[in-house]
């Protein structure tokens, strides 16, 4: 497959919550472990809300072949209540992390969320995984990102449940 033929992996779900409420969850790294459908997130090492392109947030991760490690996520897309995305970079404890003094590099992977309002109280959320800029070997290993499809579906299910729990807490009794 050539780069021109590559299509990012995208999964969408209609969630009964305003885009603003959903965006607040996505822009808060501390909430990511609650919605992670991959099972690899262990928590945020960064406490600050994402506020724009150029921000970096660090996530604690676990993968059986690597053990515990961190990923430094560089925010590359940010449109309040509409789109947020980041490119991960190997961080502390990851075998591919930059050696002392070496310039760290991103892997050509991008995770993003697009929020499209669908009426005043619902939003179509699309999670997108794009590995077009990743090395060919990595793309082949991940079937051009298709290995993440099930985890992405679970992530959007969990995001939907989180939004429903928030609505339950503010509903009149």
Per-domain residue ranges for the chain? 9-170
CA atoms within 13 A on the CB side of 114: 9
pLDDT at site 172: 43
Give me the pLDDT at residue 149, please: 93
SS3 of the chain: helix, strand, coil, percent, to 5: 30, 35, 40
Segments of the chain scoring below 50 in pLDDT: 168-173
pLDDT of residue 100: 58
pLDDT of residue 138: 81
**pLDDT at site 81:** 97
pLDDT at 82: 98
CA-closest candidate to residue 153, choices 7, 24, 11: 11
CATH 3.30.530.20 fits domain 9-170: yes
What global pTM score does this model have?
0.88
- State the pLDDT at residue 34: 94
The pLDDT tens digits for 93-119 are 877 776 655 555 677 889 999 999 998
| 107 and 76 Cβ atoms separated by less than 8 Å | no
């Amino acid at each position: 497959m050539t780069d021109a033929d590559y299509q990012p992996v995208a999964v969408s779900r209609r969630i009964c919550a305003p885009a603003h409420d959903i965006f607040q969850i996505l822009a808060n790294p501390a909430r990511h472990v609650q919605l992670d459908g991959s099972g690899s997130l262990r928590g945020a090492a960064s406490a600050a809300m994402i506020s724009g392109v150029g921000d970096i947030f660090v996530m604690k991760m676990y993968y059986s072949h690597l053990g515990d490690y961190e990923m430094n996520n560089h925010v590359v897309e940010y449109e309040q209540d509409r789109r947020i995305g980041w490119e991960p970079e190997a961080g502390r404890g990851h075998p591919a992390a930059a050696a002392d003094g070496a310039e760290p590099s991103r892997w050509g992977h991008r995770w993003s969320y697009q929020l499209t309002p669908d009426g005043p109280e619902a939003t179509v959320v699309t999670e997108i995984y794009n590995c077009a800029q990743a090395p060919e070997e990595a793309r082949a290993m991940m079937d051009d990102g298709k290995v993440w499809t099930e985890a992405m579906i679970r992530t959007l299910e969990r995001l939907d449940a989180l939004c429903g729990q928030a609505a339950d807490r503010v509903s009149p009794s």
